[in-house]
Each structure stands twice: as C-alpha cells, then as structure tokens.
Copies of this chain bind each other. A is one copy, B any other.
Amino acid sequence: MLWSGWGDPAKAADLPEPVRELLHDLLGVRAPATPAAALSEVRLPPPALPGSALARLTGAVGAEHVRTGDETRIRHTRGKSTPDLLRIRAGDGSDAPDAVVLPGSHEEVLQVLRACAEERVAVVPFGGGTSVVGGLAAARDGFAGVIALDLARLAGLRSLDAESMVAEFGPGTRAPEAERLLAGHGLTLGHFPQSFEYATLGGFAAARSSGQASAGYGRFDDLVAGLTVATPRGTLELGRAPKSAAGPDLRQLVLGSEGAFGVITSLRLRVRRAPAEKVYEGWRFASFAAGSAALRALAQQGPLPAVLRLSDETETMVGLAKPGEIGAGEPGCLVIAGFEGADVRARREAAGAVLAGHGGVALGEEPGRAWAHGRFAAPYLRDSLLAVGATVETLETAGFWSNLPRLYDAVRLTLHAELGSPLVMCHISHVYETGASLYFTVVTAQSGDPVEQWERAKTAVSAAIVAAGGTISHHHGVGRDHRDAYAEEIGPLGVEILRAVKDRLDPAGVLNPGALVP
C-alpha cells in the first residue's frame, strides 16, 4: 500500500490531458504550491512510550513484534480519507503511533490490553488501515503513549463448518486472501467493498462494512455469525445460533464499535457457494427519480440483483463520457444490475422486466463490464486528482425511500453553499425494502488550506444529513470525523449507553480513544 495514497503504486492512474483542462476550466483547479513530501521528509513526533510499557509489550508479544521504525510508524498513521492523504502528503506525521505491536494470539491481545490499561497507553486496533472517517487517528491527550495494534499476524482461515456454511477467520485476514482461501472450497464471502484489495475482515466487522454486492450477499454485519472479542476486562464469546431470543443481540453492540469496546480476535462468518456465473449489465433511465423508483420496485418486489446501483445525472455524465466528450450529450442516469449464482438467466429476465416496466432502456453488458473492470479503481484516481490540486472526497448516508429526495437535496445544496461550484456526483449502491444509501463524490478546486477547506464543508454537510433525518454513515463508520454528528443522531441517552458499555469494558479508556464514543 502506498504510504501517502492508495494501493499499489504501479497501478497509479494518470489523468488524461483533457481531464486536466476540464478541471482547470470548469472547477478552477490550479496545481498545488508545494509537491508531496517524500517519506524521509515526514515529520514524526519522538517516540513517547515509557520503558516500562515497552518492556511489557515486548514481554507480551516478543521484541520482534514491537516495531518502532519511522517507516512502520508512518505506514500506521491515520487512514485513507482525503484529509488523511492531504496531511501525510504535506509531511504531517503528527498522529503517528509510538510503536506498532503485532500480537500472535487472542491471549497476547488480552495481555497487551491489560498492559496498556495499566500503563495508560492508548491502543488503536489496525487492520487494513483503510478507514476514511478518522478511525485510526490516535488521541494522545492524557496518555503515556499510543500504539497501533496491527492484527496482521491473526490471519487466515481457522476452520470451516461446511454443513452450517460458517467459516472461522482471524481478524487480520485481508479480503482477497479470505476469498482465495474460500475459493479452494468452492465458497465465497461475496463481500467486495471499494477497499477490498486492502481491508481486513476484522475491520469490516468493526466498522459495519457494506460491499458492492450487498443486495446479493448482505452487508458484512449480516455475515457475522459469531465473534470473539478481547477487552481489557477479559473475553466476550458471542453467537451460539443463527438467531436467538436470549436477550439483546450483543454481537450488534460489537459490530460498529470500531475498536472502542474491544478487539475482535476471531470471526465466524457465513459463507456462500461461489457463483457459477456473473453477469453485469447497464440500463439507462431518464432521471434519478425514475431510476430510484425502479430500484425500489426491485428491492420491494424482487427479484433483487446481487449488484444494484444507480448513478445520478452528473455521475452518469462524468462516468460514461470519454474524456474529450464530458458534458456532451444527455446520458440520463445509469443503472448497473449484476446477477450472480446458478439461475442468472431467469433472474436477469425477471429483473429486466421490472426495469423496463419503469422506463429503463437496456444497454447490454458493456456498461456492466466497464463498471466491474473499474470497481476498485476510484481511490487510485483520487491520488492523481490530489496531485494536480483538486480535492476529491466521498461521503454517504442512508434513509427510508420516502426521505431520500430530501437527503439528496440537503447534501447537494450544502456542498454547493460551502464549496462554491464543486462537482457533486451521487449514486445509490445499497438498496433495502425500506430504503437505500446515497453515496456522494465531490470534486473541488483546492483553496487556502485544503484540509480546513474540506473539514468546514464536511462539518456542514454532516449537520445537514442529520437534520434531514438520515444516518451519518451507511458504511464508512463514525471514527473521529463523524463523532459529533453521530452524537446528534443517537441523542444524549444513546451516547450514555455507549459510555456505559465503554466504561465497563475499558475502564481506563485506552481503547481507540477519541473514536466513536462522544
């Protein structure tokens, strides 16, 4: 993973000249004044960990698994939001952990947590490092130091219950590795978020990830049958049955807890047969409203494709056009419908009838292939845009169908009010019987301090989302960036519940301080 951006540097996507011209002419993008810093130029705080803490950590996991080198610290600094990248590109490594600790077992995690609680060292669980909501920024105030608890050594397929279709994995397993291990058994998780290439299963669970094929396979929280969780106060073992009426579902308290309540050390996950066939196709609708109505019909009456997404007019125009032709023509709104499994043909025909019945025009498989080809590519493009002086960032929400138009308008109006004339694109990529998500991509010219510029807009748009009745996140999570809006969303008593649970499981407050819990 590129330390200052996304992914494999070899896959960097250069911007074609017409796009650069367009950014300049339409958005007023100017090249940044200073180039990105080199790794050696990143400014790190001096390592602050007291000797006693370091000794206990090396005692727990072995000296070779406590790392304090500059590059390791930089690679565990923050996540992959645009402000994160802007800061690290500017050489700001101030949020770096003092050490990176790699436990090799559940017992070692327990030991590390106990040691950190007693030594008042903050612990930031670290999976793929792909948080885009500030979930990995270490709070230093009041702590003797900060460690990143890298779960890379707790990886792999530990057992497979083929009868129950449940597989047990270590939390540090990266998604592609999980798919490779399952493919050997003809199985899949079917979980393909945009962060797929780097994110880990533990991270998916801790942050309630949702994949691009969520309509077919469910969100990641739907896939979790059981969890083992290490806390400073001991171990939680959750999930004895698919469903239970034995009290509140405590799994649902750990899912989305973002390392603030404990560290997930094992996951029992639902697995599915790998699909025999996958077909993705495109449909065009005259408007976002017409496309939304079609998606709603599929969600409420079926048949639901495994992948179902609708781009609004702007996203369709930018996404479909060739670089030299952006703005020409009137492409309407693009729907991608993907069918996976054994009976693709029948379901495709039935879904096609619903889409056509709502005014959709079939575009065949070409747009589907193009979408599938580029499905993990957007973060690479962001690096190229940042390099030429454009800020590009994404944000998302979800709501009930009847509230989506209000949410859509609220976000767009606020972004325009805050950023002048940004490019704002939107798609629906996750649908349910009762509602859907809205995912926005914003491109704007950098002005002044680009981090401050974005954070001002982000604060306003978060408030607008909550005021319009949406949730502050459908699948990015809370972290630090959404914490205030989240408090607004769940109300003072909701916040007190979180604090009560945290106080009980983590009385010293060392687990990911500053994230999630207001």
Contact = CB atoms under 8 A, between A and B. Distances in A.
A125 B257 CA distance: 30
Of the candidates A235, A245, A250, A273, the one having the most CB atoms from chain B within 10 angstroms of its own CB is: A245
Interface string A396-412: 01111111000000000
Contact of A236 (B403, B478, B493, B504): B493
A107 to B, nearest CB: 16
A241 to B, nearest CB: 4
Contact of A475 (B245, B273, B301, B503): B245
A464 to B, nearest CB: 14
A489 interface: yes
Given A270-B434, A501-B501, 19 more contacts: A161-B400, A163-B401, A164-B401, A164-B435, A208-B245, A234-B492, A236-B491, A236-B493, A240-B471, A242-B434, A245-B471, A245-B475, A246-B486, A246-B490, A250-B494, A272-B433, A497-B504, A500-B501, A500-B504
Contacts of A492: 234
Given A243-B219, A270-B434, A398-B241, A256 B252 contact: no
- Which 9 residue pairs across A and B have the least CB separation, nearest first? A252-B252, A242-B432, A208-B245, A241-B398, A500-B504, A164-B400, A244-B471, A241-B471, A163-B402
A346 B490 CA distance: 44
Contacts of A244: 208, 398, 471-474
A144 to B, nearest CB: 26
Nearest to A300: B165
Contacts of A233: 493, 496
Given A476-B245, A482-B246, A500-B504, A493 B253 contact: no
Contact of A472 (B246, B470, B496): B246
Contacts of A471: 240-241, 244-246
A225 interface: yes
Contact of A240 (B163, B489, B498): B489
Interface string A154-191: 00000001011110000000000000000000000000
A291 interface: no
B248 A254 contact: yes
Contacts of A257: 247-248
Nearest to A229: B493
Contact of A399 (B208, B241, B499): B241
A492 to B, nearest CB: 7
A301 B276 CA distance: 13
A505 interface: yes
Of the candidates A245, A247, A436, the one having the most CB atoms from chain B within 10 angstroms of its own CB is: A247
A483 to B, nearest CB: 10
In the complex, the count of this chain's copies comes to 2
A490 B238 contact: yes
Contacts of A491: 235-237
A516 B248 CA distance: 10
A426 B301 CA distance: 34
Contact of A501 (B245, B252, B258, B497): B497
A209 interface: yes
A339 to B, nearest CB: 15
A221 to B, nearest CB: 8
A349 interface: no
Interface string A366-383: 000000000000000000
Contact of A473 (B238, B246, B498, B516): B246
A266 interface: no
A210 interface: yes
Contacts of A234: 492-493
A14 interface: no
Contacts of A250: 490, 494, 497
A284 interface: no
A127 interface: no
A477 interface: yes
Contacts of A296: 163
Interface string A445-488: 00000000000000000000000011111111110001000100
B241 A397 contact: yes
A225 B399 CA distance: 11
Given A234-B493, A400-B161, A504-B500, A477 B270 contact: no
Given A240-B489, A245-B474, A164 B494 contact: no
Contacts of A111: none
A476 B196 CA distance: 39
Of the candidates A242, A244, A399, A497, the one having the most CB atoms from chain B within 10 angstroms of its own CB is: A244
B253 A478 contact: no
